[in-house]
Structure 1
Amino acid sequence: MTHDDQPSGVLEHARVVFFDFDGPVCDVFARLPASEVAKQLTALLSIQHETAGAEAAETDDRIAHETDAAIGQAVEQALTAAEVEAVAVAGPPTPGAVESLQAARSSGRAVVVVSNNSADYVQRFMELHGLGKYVARTIGRPSGEPHLMKPNPYPLISAAEQVHVDVTLSTLIGDSLTDIQAAHAAGATVIGYANKPHKAALFAEAGADAITDAMQDIADALAA
């Protein structure tokens, strides 16, 4: 545990638990390096739009948010193809992820995966590992509307509406600053999963309601 506030206190009043996918549930590009995928997408973007390609090379975002619609669609399709390729070689779920999904479902809470990855990729991984039975909904990257991805609160608000719960009664488990920002914008609580040492300080500065470096802490809190 890496923060004064415990996940159990944050989750106590949550009626729905949102799980970001890449990190809290699995490492999407563990065996198909994200850096290589990013280089391929940047090269594709550069061929079609030199300026946008240069900008993409300087950012961690996997999709350029401010390009011509047709170009953006081509890049998105390439990213989805890379994700589908990655699922075939993906490793096991993040340690503690299965237990967390099980505990959330067993507690009577709604469980929704809310990801900036494609819903197709997420669903394939969940099916491959027998995790679909724990999840009520899967909210993936809005096709053709990258501006609605996290940190935009839209995915969380949409997910809450689909399970008929006020978004302010939800908690998001995420491993990026965009997760923290999206949760705050939606009025939800958020637990930062600091799966890399430097993230704990970033999440604390961003105002995460709780921070942990182990998904098993989430499972224990939900089972308590």
Structure 2
Amino acid sequence: MTTETETEPNDLRNLIEGARVVLWDFDGPVCRLFAGHSAERVARDLVEWLEGQGLHGLLAESERESLDPHAVLRAVDRRHPGSDLVAELEQRLTQEELKAAASARPTPYADPLVRTWTAVGARLAITTNNSPQVVKEYLASRGLLECFAPHVYGRTQELRHLKPHPHCVHRALNATGAAPSTALMIGDTPSDYQAARAAGVPFLGYARNERKNKVLRDAGAETIVDSLEPVLKLVRESGQA
């Protein structure tokens, strides 16, 4: 599969050369968090737990059938913002993410890209809807935490701030002192793209298959890669310039 047009290699180069701060979504660009621990099953477990609490009617049918645990979490928070119920549900999701982190699969070329971008002087941050505790544990297991710390911005108890809200992107920009135009966000979902756009940050889409590519394209993303290898190559070249 290829996602490049004749003009996109220059677009990619321009994005990389203009990036002083690189904001990474976690699940997708850095690793496949649920590679060995199904996100769909986690979503079903959250729904079943709610039903076990006598809260079957809390979710619409489409929400009960969601394959995304964050969608379930957001749905409950919309109806009971800041409640103990939301806090319990969020903690259950965090525990599932911690289990998943043990079998997470590194995204090809992500580890060397992180190290190379750091080596050539870029500052890196994580901007994710996952638990920051989970992110830190995974990065530490790969020897990558120092490349990002202390800039790991993940899910908080304020669930209305989950992407596509740009809250985590703004936190990263403010903490690093970066102007939006000097940053770059790498993400694999429409919510990543929408958060970056809302914050005025250039966006690079990562799509590991045709379906994800189409979803990103339909959302409006223009520069998309199906592998981080060309990004790594360009970063290495920029470090030699």
TM-score (norm 2): 0.86
RMSD between aligned residues: 1.6
Matched AA of 2:58:
A
Q: Distance between the aligned counterparts of 1:218 and 1:62, measured in 2? A: 34
C-alpha separation in 2, matches of 1:217 and 1:72: 41
Partner-residue secondary structure (3-state), 1:188? coil
Counterpart residue number, 2:155: 141
**1:202 aligned counterpart, secondary structure:** helix
- Secondary structure at the counterpart of residue 95 of structure 1: coil
Q: Please, which runs of 5 or more residues in structure 1 have no aligned partner?
A: none
Query: Given residue 199 of structure 1, which amino acid in structure 2 is its aligned partner?
Result: K
Question: Which has the higher Rg, Structure 1 or Structure 2?
Answer: 2
Q: Aligned partners of 1:135 and 1:101: how far apart in 2? A: 9
Residue 232 (structure 2) pairs with residue 219 (structure 1):
yes
Structure 1's 78 and 70: CA in aligned 2 closer, same or farther, altered over 3 A? same
Partner residue in 2 for 1:58: 65
Q: Which moved more, 1:124-133 or 1:64-73?
A: 64-73
Query: Which consecutive aligned stretches of 4+ in structure 1 deviate over 3 angstroms post-superposition?
Result: none
Give the aligned length. Answer: 222
Q: Using the TM superposition, name which of 181-190 and 197-206 deviates more.
A: 197-206
Structure 2 match to 1:12: 17
Q: Specify the code of the residue in structure 2 equivalent to 1:66.
A: R
Alignment partner of 1:24 is 2:29: yes
Report deviation, 1:176: 0.6
Contact (CA 8 Å) 2:22, 2:123: kept in 1 or not? yes
Match of 1:67 in 2: 79
- Structure 2 match to 1:76: 90
Deviation at 1:45, TM superposition (A): 2.4
Identical positions, percent: 32
| Structure 2: stretches of 5+ with no match in the other structure | none
**Counterpart residue number, 2:3:** 2
Letter in 1 for 2:4: H
TM-score normalised by length of structure 1: 0.92
Greater share of residues in helix: 2
CA deviations on 1:10-66 (whole Å, 9 max, x unpaired) are 122111001111011111111111111111011122334222344532333252341
Greater displacement, 82-91 / 112-121: 82-91
CA distance in 2, matches of 1:130, 1:70: 35
